[in-house]
Amino acid sequence: MLEGATLAVGDGQFVSLVGPSGSGKSSLLRAVIGLQQPLKGTVEREVAPSDVAILFQDDALLPWKTARDNVALGLILNGVPRGEALAQADLWLERLGLAGFGHRFPRHLSGGQRKRVALAQVLAREPKLLLMDEPFASLDAIVRARIVQDVAALVDRERISVLLVTHDLEEAISLSDHIYLLSQGPRARVTRDYPTPLPRPRDPVRARMHAAFAPLYEKIWNDLSREVDRRP
């Protein structure tokens, strides 16, 4: 159970949640998008529910539809004419390095390519708030780094607010404006807020070479380790 969680994601901000397993990170995301109701407290959004999107660890692509049709699906369900939806799908696939792959089915795509299709599917809806729950955990290091670079560039360009759940501290620091640390559960709470002193626009790979990166990593690692060592 998560309690006492007070945090904010500002306009165009990238915020990450880190903490021990079972501390309620994913539950918090579900509460933000409305899939789970808090027993106490409120979730306040300045954007409409239709302007909130979520990207899970496992892609939700329909195996019988092509990449292009998968990306267009959400737009069509929201009333966008099919021709316009397909045109927008082509645009987003191109933006994410998948021009020429729209006719392929998910089974004919690599894991990284499927993740890009899932990301295109979400971004095509032009959300104002994007929630991400360990979306890159299943990818190998090189593919993951490249997709994270693409996400960072798109978020900066489109001014999307992001709330990311991750166990990867390097990923959290290289992407985020703020990082919130959750305590050990049960009855977990937000215990720390770390502003990230890295300039924007930011390349998340090169950000790891910034002088402020290692000291912040060490601080968060030490605080997180203390929380993990606490017994429920």
Each domain of the chain, given as residue ranges in start order, spans 1-47+128-232, 62-127
pLDDT tens per residue, the chain (232 residues)? 566 677 778 888 899 998 877 767 777 777 777 777 766 767 777 777 778 888 887 778 899 999 999 999 988 988 889 999 999 999 989 888 888 899 999 999 988 889 889 988 988 888 888 888 888 777 777 778 888 888 888 888 878 889 998 888 999 999 999 999 988 777 777 888 999 998 888 888 888 889 999 999 999 999 888 887 776 5
DSSP the chain: -B-S------TT-EEEEE-STTSSHHHHHHHHHTSS--SSS----SS-GGGEEEE-SS----TTS-HHHHHHHHHHHTT--HHHHHHHHHHHHHHTT-TT-TT--GGGS-HHHHHHHHHHHHHTT--SEEEEESTTTTS-HHHHHHHHHHHHHHHHHHT-EEEEE-S-HHHHHHH-SEEEEEPSSSSB-EEEEEE----SS--TTGGGGSTTHHHHHHHHHHHHHHHHHS--
CATH architecture of the domain covering 1-47+128-232 = 3-Layer(aba) Sandwich (3.40)
What is the C-alpha to C-alpha distance for residues 171 and 135, in angstroms, rounded to an integer? 11
Q: Which of 108, 97, 123 is nearest to 64 (CA)?
A: 108
What the block records as the tokens of 105 is 């089915």
Q: What pLDDT is stored for residue 125 in this prediction?
A: 85
Q: What pLDDT is stored for residue 216 in this prediction?
A: 95
Neighbours of 74 (CB within 10 A): 16
Q: What pLDDT is stored for residue 218 in this prediction?
A: 95
